[in-house]
Amino acid sequence: MTDRVDLFEAAIDSLPEGLALLHGDSDGPFEVMFWNQAAVAITGHTAVDLVGRALPDNLGPLLGEAPSHDETTADPSVHPGRGFLARVRHKLGHEVSVIVRNLVLRDPLGQRIGSGILFHPADQFDALPRGEAGEDESVDSSQAELEDRLQDLIDDHIRGGPPFGVLWISVDQAHDLRKTHGAGACETMLAKVEKALAQGLRPAEYLGRWGEDEFLVISHERTPAMLAAHAQKLAGLARTADFRWWGDRISVTVSIGAAQADKTTTLPDLLGQARSAMTSSSLAGGNQITSAPGGDACLPS
């Protein structure tokens, strides 16, 4: 029978992010206890090179500290919920930029016994699909909060947490309304749409602005089919957002892309799938729902 330790090691060895488990407290050097395959691929350093030894100086920025004698640096300016930017040296000598998140590991009594380090190439962070940027700072704040929630859910799902998915929602009339009636009219309409969508949210779901004319819903529907059915309900609610501007009644519809996370999904992959599906809905004429990957757009009931 397979040993539990073997199962544990196989599970974390399959993570798409680099993972290092370090033993030690804040007063002494951290000894590497585990170094997964993704960490090998990112840094070139194998488990044989590192396990049982202190983390070398050229990888020191992974701890959030610049090493004492190397030009590599850590930059803690990135939002803490999404990690910080660190520059480390690959085993072959070239610089690698990574986004790092550090975890404190404690025993049942609360005593620190080590650290965990999760990291991935910075280009994955920079490539995170986003909605079109606007001038409203509250949209940036909403995006940051949504990203943090999504990354936490992905990490939890990898560890065996419940399934979830995202709905990327674009308001079909927003672009034209912004051009013909101005930003004030468009923002008023978007506020009405957001209020209508919020009426259809289930407990523990989250809705936020994801771009100038777009929303993101984090849903805990358990299957792609259930997620698509939920999207149909939300699309119907959006159509009830009765919007009038200076006597003109403007109909409201939305294009929705639905994407379900799995245990191999990264955040850029999940959002990329949802955006692609939403684009398919929009290109099909709007007022459509498309499930990723490769789903056909369909009219909401």
Query: For a pLDDT cut of 70, what percent of the chain falls above it?
Result: 81
Architecture of domain 4-126: 2-Layer Sandwich (3.30)
Domain boundaries, the chain: 4-126, 137-291
Residues 106-151 have pLDDT tens digits of 888 888 888 889 898 876 554 567 666 555 667 878 888 898 899 8
Average confidence score pLDDT of the chain: 82
Question: What pLDDT is stored for residue 74 in this prediction?
Answer: 40
- Burial group, residue 11, by CB count within 10 angstroms (0-12, 13-18, 19+): middle
Q: Could you tell me what percent of the chain has a pLDDT over 90?
A: 36
More confident residue, 35 or 133: 35
Q: CA of 111: how far to CAs of 32, 40, 72, 216, 268, in Å?
A: 19, 29, 31, 39, 35
pLDDT of residue 124: 55
How many Cβ atoms are within 10 Å of 215's Cβ, its own excluded?
Answer: 26
Residue with tokens 């684009």, as numbered in its chain = 279
Q: What's the average model confidence in pLDDT over 52-56?
A: 90
Is residue 86 over pLDDT 60? Answer: yes
CATH superfamily of 137-291: Reverse transcriptase/Diguanylate cyclase domain (3.30.70.270)
Please compute the mean of the pLDDT values over residues 18-39 and round it to a whole number: 83
Q: Report H helices in the chain.
A: 4-13, 37-43, 47-50, 122-126, 137-158, 174-181, 183-198, 224-238, 267-283
Q: pLDDT grade, residue 42 (50/70/90)?
A: very high
What is residue 66's predicted lDDT score, i.e. its pLDDT? Answer: 37
Q: Which two tokens stand for residue 154?
A: 């992905």
Sign of CA dihedral 123, 219, 162, 224: negative
**pLDDT tens by residue, 181-208:** 888 888 989 999 999 999 999 988 999 9
Rounded to whole angstroms, the Cα distance separating 83 from 99 reads 6
Better-scored residue on pLDDT, 7 or 98: 98
Contact of 209 with 142, CB cutoff 8 Å: yes
